[in-house]
Amino acid sequence: MPQIVFLPHEELCPDGAVVEAEVGETVLDVALKNGIHIEHACEKSCACTTCHVVIREGFDELEESDDLEDDMLDKAWGLEPESRLSCQAKVVDSDMVVDIPQYTINIVSEGH
């Protein structure tokens, strides 16, 4: 069973976490079921960037992002080459290291 290492995040998981994941689960679902409450304003429909993460290890093993995800990622704060929307990135049969950015852009909660 693959493992996901969530790097420490000041608010969401201050000590970081190492969790097991099922192949085919999204990174977001794995985080949520392990008490790491990554924001997901669009309810996992690939319509925002609030669940943006950076895959520090294991990025190349993931399925490629589609055009819709790429379009959303273009709007993400702190975009990096290994950025993915955690609601779209599905666990494969290899371990990952995930970094949750310090900030997200949530147009709804920011009143834009």
Question: Model-level pTM?
Answer: 0.92
**CB 28, CB 44: distance < 8 Å:** yes
**CB 49, CB 85: distance < 8 Å:** yes
pLDDT value of position 106: 59
Which domains occur in the chain, in start order? 3-110 (3.10.20.30)
pLDDT value of position 18: 98
pLDDT value of position 109: 45
Give the pLDDT means over successive 10-residue stretches in the chain (112 positions). Answer: 97 96 98 96 94 97 97 93 98 97 64 43
pLDDT value of position 105: 67
- A 10 A CB-CB count for 8 gives 12
